A and B are shown apart, each in its own frame.
Chain A
Amino acid sequence: MDIIGKRYWFFGVSLLIIIPGLIALGLGGMKPGIDFTGGSLIEVQFDSGAAPEPQAVRQTVQAVVGEDVIVQSSGTSGALIKLKPIDEATQQDILASLSKEYGAVTVLQFESVGPAVGNEVAQRAAGAVALASVAIALYVTYAFRRVPNAFRFGVAAITSLVHDVLVLLGLEALLGLFLGWEADALFLTAVLTVIGFSVHDTIVVFDRIRENQTLHRRIPFETVVNHSIVQTLDRSINTTLTVLLTLFALALFGGGTTRHFIVILLIGMFSGTYSSVFNAAAILVVWENRDWQHWFRRRPAPSSPG
């Protein structure tokens, strides 16, 4: 099986996913949730047992606060109301007019996050992602210190990690654009988890390269890498399969609130395995062969399809 020889096809597939995502990101598709922007969330249950149309609830609430209000139905008899940060008095006013209109309501939850807190969270989040990436890159470089060009392994691991983050950010932006999904603290958790596991897979492939390099010193690097990928392919597929099976079960049967989180994890796990198998090690080969010397020539390099 020749995976490395087709590396530019696999890079192409990645770009096919990432570029539309980046465009969606540029169009402002990523909608940060109230965890990051600040805002309020009221979840109410209508004691009558049947929730009115979200549209009607929205108008009632807007009559009180007079600003952008988003209402989603929650369960059969509840509604989730999202709006700017409000104080206790305003919340009481909203509840009063809701009960006047639709009968008694019970507050299931009320949350109001001020913009200052949201800002702090967003800053910390960016810090957390950066910190995780740097820490992992350093660890990979350390773990592969006995291999020639250990630094390349570290860089290739981060590249595949950045790949996965870009896939997730882009897809989240697309989902935000088309389905109105919001990126909350859990989205961030999913991204960080994927970062950890993406490296998991990458390390398994790299570890095999490390081993094969010492066993077969005379074989060209490209062949060693391809051989290593093929050798670890069963493991990569099986592990991903078990993780995806559990995640699928959660996504299908786990209920609404964590579904967004699980779907992002699912995509991320898949992307993580893909980038580890098809991209990470290929970057080592690109670097070793100095492929870029052939990129802009008319005749394609022997090992690349164009």
Chain B
Amino acid sequence: MYGRMARWLLVILIVLALDLWINWPGTSFLQIGTWSRDVRIRQGLDLQGGLQVLLEADVADNVVVTNSDMQTVRTVIENRVNGLGVTEPIVQVSGTRRILVELPGFEKTEDAIALIKETGLLEFVDAGATRLVEGAKVMTDARAGNAPAQPTPSATAATEGLTPTAAPTPSETVYHTVMTGAALDTVGVGTDSLGSPSIDFKLTSEGSKVFAEYTSANIGTYLAIVLDGKVISSPVIKNAITDGQGQISGSFTIESANQLAVQLRYGALPVPLRVARTQTVGPSLGQDSLRRSMLAGAIGLGTVILFMLLYYRLPGFLADLALGLYALTSLSIYRLLPVTFTLPGIAGFILSVGMAVDANVLIFERLKEELRAGRPLQSAVEAGWSRAWPSIRDSNISTLITCSILIWFGGTFGASIVKGFAVTLAIGVLVSMFTAIIATRTLLHLVLDRIDFSKRHGWFGV
């Protein structure tokens, strides 16, 4: 018995030490050997503002952009943006031909635009007998046919210098687009027959048909791979590809092959896009709201602490200590994961404080009941824990079930506020299982082992 408590005490002290290390004022970066982590608290778009970019399908108004095309575009951009390392970016289809990208706390506007600009239309272009130089700009019929004749007046100012496609000059050759990146199913890096790195790709069934027809008819010609009007590779068709599986070999290094594979994969947009507008979102609620929520949290927490102390006396005091550990540990987890703080997220955290206390209330009520029934103190303490456990377990599992559904729901349509709330709540439930049950119990045993309370039931609020 004593050994188990001693072990838990050790665990509690380690957790406390870690909490203090992570949350020490001024700490923004942790490092142990090669492991390192930025532990600053991330604030969501609603607290600190951030960057919002609106993208628009760069096709003529009469060209229909299907919903599934836009969903694909969204996924592609999401993958791109995730590479920025921004926490909880939001990529959302807005209307029928737009994508809204929100980057909370991201300030490097230029970087974001460069990244999204790069995310463009991938084409397999019929270059005939000419080998197009890598990096050369070419015009293709897929783009020429769709480029808007006149940019809209409102867009002019905002998109200045962002639109990569200039209107084609009459003398420019317009190459034929065989197919776009939408026809690509999977792309990976492999090795060719000579053992040098190559790009292996697999086409969708429709893509396979188009590709089979085209390659059988054009063996020996160049098939340039063009991303956003820029040639990124210029392979020769060596033989007809009828099974939808192909290989691009050339003078690749592993790095350049990887890079191209990534471009093929993530650049595989079914429709070309242009940056219609970039905007830095001012904090809709701002630091004032953050301050108010913090104040509310402090008042709420203070009231709960006072209540526990007055109503449950000694165990209440220990539960309050455990509550302090709970708050610190939750904060550590938010910093480590990291969890982006939004206003609902803060609400979720404050709410979970109330829930963390619930486990203690359950146990202490039980403890009081057992004392009133005449049980000796030690066995009443044991009974309090063991009998309250099934309801704590079952009720917490049902909360976790709701949380996981909320996380799924929030994640599927980019409502990061919903997700943020559910994540903080779930973390709260898990952490409270440790602090409210194990930590409080260990502390209580620690006290009971040293001081004899068996005749002083008033200390337990009975």
Contact = CB atoms under 8 A, between A and B. Distances in A.
Interface extent on B, as a size class?
Answer: 35 or more
Interface extent on A, as a size class?
Answer: 35 or more
Nearest to B358: A239
A19 interface: no
B397 interface: yes
A296 B347 CA distance: 47
Contacts of B459: none
A203 interface: yes
A250 interface: yes
Interface stretch (B207-215, B228-236, B416-424): B416-424
Interface stretch (A63-71, A169-177, A258-266): A258-266
B115 interface: no
B402 A196 contact: yes
Given A136-B402, A254-B296, A116 B391 contact: no
A107 B402 CA distance: 36
A109 B282 CA distance: 6
B300 A245 contact: yes
Contact of A242 (B279, B354, B365): B354
Given A246-B303, A253-B299, A204 B279 contact: no
A204 B391 contact: yes
B89 to A, nearest CB: 16
Contact of A239 (B295, B361, B387, B415): B361
Interface stretch (A46-54, A127-135, A285-293): A127-135
Interface stretch (B122-130, B171-179, B332-340, B405-413): B405-413
Contacts of B155: 88-89
A139 B347 contact: no
A92 interface: yes
A100 interface: no
Interface stretch (B90-98, B187-195, B241-249, B263-271): B90-98
A136 B401 CA distance: 7
B118 interface: no
Contacts of A148: none
A35 interface: yes
Contacts of A45: 282
A143 B394 contact: yes
Contact of B425 (A87, A139, A193, A238): A193
A246 B307 CA distance: 12
A181 interface: no
Nearest to A131: B405
Nearest to A234: B365
B152 interface: yes
A106 B355 CA distance: 41
Decide if the interface of chain B is mainly helix, strand, loop or mixed.
Answer: helix
A128 B292 contact: no
Contacts of A253: 292, 295-296, 299
Interface in B391-441: 391, 394-399, 401-403, 405-406, 408-410, 412-413, 415, 417-418, 421-422, 425
A234 B283 CA distance: 43
Interface in B340-370: 343-344, 347, 350-351, 353-355, 357-358, 361-362, 365, 369
A231 B369 contact: yes
A200 interface: yes
Q: Which of B276, B297, B308, B409 is packed against the most chain A CB atoms within 10 Å? A: B409
Interface stretch (A6-14, A22-30, A118-126, A218-226): A118-126
A235 interface: yes
B188 to A, nearest CB: 32
Interface string A226-256: 0000011011001101110111111011111
16 contacts: A45-B282, A112-B95, A114-B96, A132-B402, A186-B418, A189-B406, A200-B355, A211-B387, A235-B362, A239-B354, A239-B358, A245-B354, A246-B351, A249-B303, A250-B296, A254-B293
Interface of B: 46, 52, 54, 67, 92-96, 98, 152-155, 158, 276-277, 279, 281-285, 288-289, 292-293, 295-297, 299-301, 303-304, 307-308, 311, 343-344, 347, 350-351, 353-355, 357-358, 361-362, 365, 369, 387, 390-391, 394-399, 401-403, 405-406, 408-410, 412-413, 415, 417-418, 421-422, 425
Chain A to chain B: the 4 pairs with minimum beta-carbon distance, closest first? A196-B402, A114-B95, A246-B300, A243-B354
